[in-house]
Amino acid sequence: MSDVWAENPVRWVSIDPGLGGTGLAFFDNERLLVGIPEKNAPGIHTVRPDKSAAGWMEEAVSICDKAEDLFALYSPTKIVIEEPFISLKGKKTLVAANTNSVVKLSIIAGMLIWTARSVMESHRATHLFQVETVLPSKWKGQLPDKALKMRIEEWARKTKTELPKRLSEHARDALGLGLSCLKEL
């Protein structure tokens, strides 16, 4: 990963795209944004598809519609998104269970990038827009979910950041990806 974050401090988002939900963690320079001031919750979100969606494409559109509201709220100019991959090691992930899912996941990732860019376009700021994709092996390696959770909790104690009591796996991965970019993980 590049040191683009240290060189150009901006508002940015790390994204863990998922078929059942997508995690987003919003940062301002090198700190996690406070997302909902009245709830004192940081800028960590999970957007899930509408249950009424007919098929995976409609689910993807509903995820992007919800993410669009968050992009408009936070106005990130950079995106770091976990790159879809095919795992052949038998892990219990949706993508590992069905290699065709990587195509769907790639489409969702592209739709999220396009949605964020469209929000920037409405602010006439597309010249600032940048995207970086990162493979899971590059930001967390073989780190088990439990160890990732412990490292995030340790970071929260160290920085006195109050995290929501429950973080979805997608939100935790988005936060972990962002912290990795900051070399805080």
pLDDT in tens, 12-23: 899 999 988 999
Find the mean pLDDT for residues 21-39: 77
Q: Whole-model pTM?
A: 0.84
What are the start-end ranges of the E strands in 118-185? 130-134
pLDDT for 7 equals: 47
Please tell us whether the domain made up of 4-181 is placed in CATH 3.30.470.20: no
CA pair distance 35, 74, nearest whole angstrom: 8
CA pair distance 133, 160, nearest whole angstrom: 29
> Over 70: is that where the pLDDT of 176 sits?
yes
Instruction: Please report which residue ranges of the chain form alpha helices under DSSP H.
Output: 4-7, 56-74, 94-97, 101-122, 136-139, 145-159, 169-181
Q: For residue range 104-157, what is the model confidence (pLDDT) as tens digits?
A: 899 999 999 999 988 887 766 656 678 999 998 899 888 888 999 999 999 999
Residue 28's pLDDT band, with cuts at 50, 70 and 90, is: confident
Name the residue type at position 109.
A
